[in-house]
Copies of this chain bind each other. A is one copy, B any other.
């Protein structure tokens, strides 16, 4: 389901879960996006320094998409500032 991720660690965890669900090894995923197994490992480990491109490539290969939304959810009377 939808996974909220506020930290690199959470992002890495989502990527890893998805990869496993697709039954792919880090090596196999790496090959899909022309990156080293070590790079995938690093991304899944939640490195703050990982590059945006790395994440997006991995997500794309895993059939994931990224959604950005205001942090306030559920209550509707506080979404006041997004023009």
Contact = CB atoms under 8 A, between A and B. Distances in A.
Interface string A54-73: 01100110011111111110
B69 A22 contact: no
Interface of A: 1-8, 11, 14-15, 18, 21-22, 47-53, 55-56, 59-60, 63-72, 81-83
Contacts of A65: 4, 6, 68-71
A48 B48 contact: no
Contact of A63 (B63, B64, B67, B72): B72
A53 B8 contact: yes
25 contacts: A3-B68, A3-B69, A4-B65, A4-B67, A5-B68, A6-B65, A7-B56, A8-B52, A11-B52, A11-B66, A11-B68, A18-B82, A22-B81, A48-B56, A49-B51, A51-B51, A51-B52, A52-B55, A63-B71, A64-B68, A65-B70, A65-B71, A66-B66, A66-B67, A67-B69
